[in-house]
Amino acid sequence: MADNYARLTPIHVVADRKQETLELPDIIEACKSGERRAQQQLYQQFYNGLFAICLRYATDHSQAKSLVNQAFLKAFQSLHQCKDYKAFPAWINRIAINTCIDHVRKAKKNRTTTLDHVEEAAIPSSVLDKMAAEDLLALVQQLAPMTRAVFSLYVIEGFKHAEIAEQLGMSEGTSRWHLSTAKQELKRLLQNYQR
């Protein structure tokens, strides 16, 4: 039995040397060649960031994980399009956002509301300053899926209503309505949170 262990030891040492960390351009080139270790390393390196993006659009952690995996699949399939390695983080984040938008579109109900004028609901900044990011995200996840998506695209991603309307197949008035609804609902949830 000791002889078997002695024969296995060099293999483990060689495997440990292959675990060295590569630079992003090297990882991407290895992924383009289909190397599984490089794909795993890229996945591990960008998972948390993409998960945070997807969690803003998902109803729960499980759905967010599914969206992350869909985003990575799309990224691996179109990796040959990425020529600028410095822009890779923004490129893969955009894929994740688009994956979430596609998800919201598919889940969209046939019923839409069109409003041209909507009053804005103000959320006190003093309340937001006291909250942990996780608590605020938990409140955002309580919003209806389309309302949550519009809120995330507008407030977090910086999209304009015209862009949101085009991406989600709605009017600008409907986008404004969802944003207003999100703010009103968050204000209500924040009041309950303070109690």
What is the pLDDT at residue 112?
46
For residue 129, the tally of other CB atoms under 10 A from its CB is 7
What is the pLDDT at residue 53?
93
Residue 79: which of 45, 38, 118, 31 has the closest Cα?
31
Match domain 125-194 to its CATH number in 3.90.950.10, 3.40.50.300, 1.10.10.10, 3.40.50.2020: 1.10.10.10
* 129 pLDDT higher than 60: no
Q: What CATH class is the domain 2-107?
A: mainly alpha
Percent of the residues in the chain that have a pLDDT greater than 70, as a whole number: 75
Between CA 178 and CA 172 the distance in angstroms is 10
The two structure tokens encoding residue 59 = 């109803």
Q: Do 2-107 and 125-194 share a fold? A: no
Q: What is the pLDDT of residues 22-52, one digit of tens each?
A: 789 999 999 999 999 999 999 999 999 999 9
Q: Where are the domains of the chain?
A: 2-107, 125-194
- Which of 106-110, 148-152, 185-189 is the least confident region? 106-110
Between CA 52 and CA 162 the distance in angstroms is 25
